[in-house]
Amino acid sequence: AKVGETAKEIGSGALISEAGLAAVSVVGSGMQHTPGYASRMFRVLADGNVNIDMITTSEIRISCIIREEQAEEAVRLLHRGFQLDEPDSE
């Protein structure tokens, strides 16, 4: 009900929702000064046959809306694609 009220307040003509979606994000303060994070994220997901339904970004975050049933695999792919699954070398 609150979403519908907000939609009316901002003058939205229609409100559409869809179940079965999930969000995966890449987040880091270094993203704002280093190019290539978005293209790497999109390439990793595409190579893993994960379809992106929607994309949103900020200075330090890239989020993709995907099908819920692909979320776990997408997280694994992104960990591998950004070498987050490797132990830190000290």
Q: Name the domain count of the chain.
A: 1
Let me know if residue 62 belongs to a domain: yes
List the domain range (segments joined by +) for residue 30. Answer: 18-81
Write out pLDDT tens, residues 9-30: 888 777 777 899 999 999 999 8
Note the pTM of the prediction, 2 decimals. 0.79
Give per-residue pLDDT as tens, 36-58.
999 999 999 999 999 999 999 99
Tell me whether residue 89 is in a domain: no
Q: In a 3-state reduction of DSSP, which class is residue 9?
A: helix
Which of 36-43's residues contact partners 24+ apart within 8 Å by CB, and which partners?
Answer: 37/62, 38/62, 40/81, 40/82, 41/78, 41/81, 43/81
Is 34 domain-assigned? yes
